[in-house]
Amino acid sequence: MEKPKGTKMKGFEMRDVIIFLVPTVIVIITGCAPSQSGSEDVCYGNAGLPSVDNVTGGSADNLFDDDLSKFWEENTGSFPHWAKYTFRTAKKIVRYVLYADPLEPGRMPMTWTFEASTTGVFRGEQVELDMRTDQAGWGAKERREFTFVNTTPFRYYRLNISAGNNQILRLAEIEMMESLGTSIRYISLHYRPGFLVRAKLNQQMFTYEL
Q: What is the pLDDT of residue 24?
A: 46
Identify the bridge partners of residue 196 per DSSP, sorted by sequence position.
209
* Residues 189, 91: Cα–Cα separation, whole Å: 38
Average pLDDT in the 84-112 region? 97
Lowest mean pLDDT among 45-49, 143-147, 158-162: 45-49
Per-residue model confidence as pLDDT tens digits over 68-86: 999 999 998 899 999 999 9
pLDDT-derived band at 14 (thresholds 50, 70, 90) equals very low
Question: What are the structural domains, with CATH classification, of the chain?
Answer: 18-35+181-209 (no CATH), 48-177 (2.60.120.260)
- 28, pLDDT greater than 50: no
Instruction: Look at 202 and 170; give whichever has higher pLDDT.
Output: 170
Is residue 153's pLDDT more than 60?
A: yes
d(CA 110, CA 113): 10
Assess whether pLDDT exceeds 60 at residue 187. no
29 pLDDT higher than 60: no
